[in-house]
Every structure is written in C-alpha cells, then in structure tokens.
C-alpha cells in the first residue's frame, strides 16, 4: 500500500519535541518522504490519501516491557505485594495456561496496545512461539524476550527459540533473557552467560524491582543483582533491565559500563508498592531509559499515556522538584529510547527509510485544547482517546475507534472470557 498522510503536524522525534507542518508518504512498510507539503509526482499512485486535518503524526510508542497474555489476570488479584502476588496468585494460575491461551490473550493485549498508540512491544511470557504467532497475525511489532528460570523450559529451549524465532516473521525478533536473579540458580545463570557469549547477545532481565529482592541477593551472594550479573559476564553484550527501582550508585556505574538500558514500569511499581525508580538520576548518569506497562495484572491497563504521566509525576515527587524529568524527556523515553533498548533503531523516528510505525494524535479533543505546547500536552494531558490512528509496518490497524478489517474483536473477547473462567 502507498499511503499519503497530508495536512499534518509532524513530530518526527529526530529532535525531541520539535513539531513541523507537512506530510508523510508511506511506500509499503517504509517511510519514503517526511517534509513540507509536496506535489505528487506522476508515477506515484496512492492507495489512500488521508487529510490529517492538522492533527499530529508521531512515532508510535514503544512499550519496552510487558507480559501481554497476563490480560486474563486483570483485576483478578489486586492489592498484593510482588512476592505474594507472584507466588500465591500468578504462578499457580500460569501453571494451567496453554500456548493457545497465550495466543488469544496476547491478541486481547494487542487490541489495547493499538488503542494506546503502541507500535512495538517487548514481551516476556510463557510461550514465545504462540506470542509470535499472535503478533504476526495481528500485525504487531514484537521483540520477544526469554523469561528463563529454574522452573521453566531448559536452556536448550531458549537457544532453540533464539535460532528459530529470529527470522521466522518480519515483525518479530527474539532476545535472550532470564526472569530474574531470584528465580534462577547461580549454575543456570552461568550457563546462560556461556550461551550469550556464544551468540554475543544482549541480555534482558527483571532486576532490582523491590528492596527485598536486592537484600535477598546480597544475602545469597554478598553483592547486588547488577553486580552479580556483571561478575557472571551476563552484561557483556548490553541489554536491558526491567524496573530498576532500587539501584545503588555502584549499580548505576555497572549499567553505564555495559550500556544497559533501564525500562521503567511506574504504574506496576506503584500498584505493587515496590517503590519509585530514580529516573532523574538515571538520566543524569546518561543511562538510556525506556518505558513499559508491565503486564495487565500488576498495572492493570496497557496505556502508555498513563505511564508517561507517571514517569514525570513520580520523578517530581521523588526529587521534590517540579522541573524533574520534564515532558520532552519522557516523550523520548516512550519512543526513541524504548526502540533503542529493544534493537528497533529502524522504527524509532519518522524519517525517510524508517519503518512506517506511525500514530496520529487527535488534537481536536478537549484535553488537547487550546493548541499550546503540543509535546508537553501529550505527556501531561494525553489519553488513549487521543489516538486517532495506529499504523504498524505501513498498515493502519486502528483508526477512529475501529480496528482494521480482519480483526475479530468479539471473538477475541469471547475466547479471553472463556479462558478466564477456566483459570480464575
């Protein structure tokens, strides 16, 4: 499809927060032009020309850490702390989940991502094969991340998936990762280290989410989780840590040294009372920070607007400084920085040659009026209701409140509810 999006405001995110008027051309799955209004050349035939009516085009949000299929646990087990929630509520129910369940429940999550302008996800969950199928079938860009742990499939399964799932679908890649220090033995972590060295692969992991987790690791090994992972060589090829709520100053040095991104999940960290991550300090240290929703059981929604506001609001509270982590920085985290953390540099900004992962923000809703500082407004006032269009890889999947033809919403709801009844 060749699509022309004209009469638009464009925030390309090449320079964070800068907005220009113009238009964008999409040829297949790639952006072929971004710039001022331009005369159509003769040889181009548009499948669609969309008058953006002065609404805003920007890169889609990158939800850099989630567990999509946990939609089934939404509002099922609230008001617990992380360890009780995981051990007593989540793990026993997950034991009964099938790959087919994950497929359907991931599709439900993707519907919600589309309403929130999310065009790529970093997904760590039980059955990567069926998550990959769901993303491919729905058109969602997905970086799968292994959640290897001592209870789950063996190391060879992760290696097998790494080789089979990378390259299987254009929209899907697969990264090596472990669930967390506290769900892995030292022996297993050493084996993982061997494997990432074999492939020179970055590593992804939940880390320093709660104070208790850090203390237990120090109790076991005498060092913090980041120090342990560094010692084992697990950070030798970069990667990301999820949460990073309770780092020491030394941990921050480790992240810098190994080019580790921190993915913050403020709603989940608040709801589970895990704490507030020191985002301002990460930024001052020059560490790359992305944003994730975490799963729908600990959040409970998959809404990058709520996350963006929380990142800045909680930073202001934590630092007792209303200027802390301002809106423009947060916009970068939710787009470019998240893309960087997942190895998605080909769809980070709106520029010629980049993948066409584009959203349109409806500025004609009352929460965006009057038209003042649009970039700040998206972070401080934006809402899912402002997402007028979500395009992934050149395909419009959500537009004016409707999902694309071929997405059977009622069927996804029915199957999700049936799974809930079984797992409740």
Question: Which spans of this chain sit near its own copies (rule: CB under 8 A)?
Answer: 71-72, 74-76, 78-81, 85, 108-109, 111-112, 115, 267, 270-273, 275-276, 296, 299-303, 306, 309-310, 312-314, 316-317, 319-324, 326-327, 364-367, 369-374, 376-377, 380-385, 401, 409, 413, 416-417, 419-420, 424
Q: Phi, psi at residue 250, to the nearest 5°?
A: -65, -40
Q: Which is nearer to its own copies, 26 or 276 (CB)?
A: 276
C-beta separation of 207 from 229 below 8 A: yes
Q: E strands of 124-276, at which residues?
A: 141-145, 172-180, 203-207, 239-243, 260-264
Residue 45, exposed/middle/buried by CB under 10 A (0-12, 13-18, 19+)?
A: exposed
Q: Computed from CA positions of residues 73, 74, 75, 78, in that sequence, does the dihedral angle turn out positive or negative?
A: positive
Answer left, alpha or beta for residue 401, where phi above 0 means left and psi between -120 and 50 means alpha. Answer: left
Q: Computed from CA positions of residues 403, 359, 381, 78, in that sequence, does the dihedral angle turn out positive or negative?
A: positive
C-beta separation of 287 from 252 below 8 A: yes
Q: Which is nearer to its own copies, 68 or 127 (CB)?
A: 68
C-beta separation of 299 from 267 below 8 A: yes
d(CA 139, CA 413): 18
Measured CA to CA in angstroms, residue 256 lies from 176, 240, 251, 260 at distances of: 20, 11, 9, 6
C-beta separation of 48 from 95 below 8 A: no
Cβ of residue 102: shortest distance to its own copies, in angstroms? 14
Q: 314: which 2 tokens?
A: 């909680």
Q: Which is nearer to its own copies, 81 or 185 (CB)?
A: 81
Q: Which is nearer to its own copies, 108 or 336 (CB)?
A: 108
Give the distance, in angstroms, between the CA of residue 126 and the centroid of all CA atoms in the same chain. 17
Cβ of residue 325: shortest distance to its own copies, in angstroms? 10
d(CA 399, CA 389): 4
Q: E strands of 228-347, at which residues?
A: 239-243, 260-264, 289-291
Cβ of residue 350: shortest distance to its own copies, in angstroms? 22
Cβ of residue 313: shortest distance to its own copies, in angstroms? 4
Q: Which is nearer to its own copies, 72 or 203 (CB)?
A: 72
d(CA 403, CA 399): 7
Cβ of residue 382: shortest distance to its own copies, in angstroms? 8
C-beta separation of 272 from 85 below 8 A: yes
Q: Which is nearer to its own copies, 43 or 400 (CB)?
A: 400
Q: Which is nearer to its own copies, 24 or 118 (CB)?
A: 118
d(CA 379, CA 77): 29
C-beta separation of 24 from 9 below 8 A: no
Cβ of residue 233: shortest distance to its own copies, in angstroms? 35
Q: Which is nearer to its own copies, 111 or 232 (CB)?
A: 111
Cβ of residue 218: shortest distance to its own copies, in angstroms? 20
Q: Which is nearer to its own copies, 257 or 364 (CB)?
A: 364
Cβ of residue 343: shortest distance to its own copies, in angstroms? 27
Cβ of residue 193: shortest distance to its own copies, in angstroms? 34
Q: Which is nearer to its own copies, 69 or 356 (CB)?
A: 69
Cβ of residue 73: shortest distance to its own copies, in angstroms? 8
């Amino acid at each position: 499809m060749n699509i022309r999006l004209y009469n638009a405001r464009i925030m390309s995110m090449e320079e964070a927060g800068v907005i220009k008027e113009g238009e964008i051309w999409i040829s297949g799955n790639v952006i072929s032009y971004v710039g001022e209004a331009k005369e159509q050349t003769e040889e181009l035939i548009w499948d669609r020309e969309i008058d953006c009516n002065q609404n805003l085009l920007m890169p889609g949000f990158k939800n850099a850490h989630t567990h999509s299929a946990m939609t089934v646990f939404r509002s099922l087990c609230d008001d617990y702390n992380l360890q009780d929630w995981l051990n007593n509520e989540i793990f026993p129910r997950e034991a009964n989940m099938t790959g087919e369940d994950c497929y359907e429940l991931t599709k439900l999550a993707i519907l919600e991502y589309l309403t929130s302008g999310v065009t790529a996800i970093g997904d760590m969950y039980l059955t990567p094969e069926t998550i990959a199928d769901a993303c491919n079938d729905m058109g969602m860009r997905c970086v799968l991340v292994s959640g290897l742990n001592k209870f789950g499939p063996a190391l060879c399964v992760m290696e097998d998936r790494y080789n089979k799932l990378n390259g299987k679908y254009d929209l899907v890649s697969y990264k090596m990762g472990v669930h967390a220090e506290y769900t892995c033995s030292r022996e297993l972590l050493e084996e993982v280290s061997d494997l990432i060295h074999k492939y020179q692969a970055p590593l992804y992991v939940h880390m320093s989410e709660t104070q208790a987790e850090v203390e237990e690791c120090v109790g076991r090994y005498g060092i913090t989780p980041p120090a342990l992972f560094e010692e084992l060589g697990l950070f030798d090829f970069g990667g990301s840590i999820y949460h990073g709520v309770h780092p020491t100053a030394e941990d921050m040095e480790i992240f810098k040294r190994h080019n580790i991104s921190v993915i913050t999940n403020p709603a989940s960290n608040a709801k589970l009372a895990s704490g507030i991550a020191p985002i301002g300090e990460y930024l001052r240290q020059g560490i790359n920070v992305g944003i994730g929703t975490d799963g729908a059981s600990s959040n409970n929604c998959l809404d990058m607007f709520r996350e963006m506001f929380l990142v800045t609001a909680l930073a202001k509270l934590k630092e007792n400084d209303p200027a802390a982590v301002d809106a423009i920085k947060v916009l970068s985290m939710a787009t470019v920085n998240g893309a960087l953390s997942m190895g998605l540099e080909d769809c980070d900004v709106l520029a010629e040659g980049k993948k066409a992962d584009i959203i349109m923000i409806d500025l004609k809703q009352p929460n965006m009026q009057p038209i003042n500082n649009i970039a700040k407004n998206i972070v401080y006032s934006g809402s899912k209701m402002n997402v007028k269009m979500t395009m992934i890889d050149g395909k419009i999947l959500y537009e004016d409140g409707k999902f694309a033809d071929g997405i059977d919403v009622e069927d996804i709801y029915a199957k999700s509810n049936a799974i809930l009844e079984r797992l409740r």
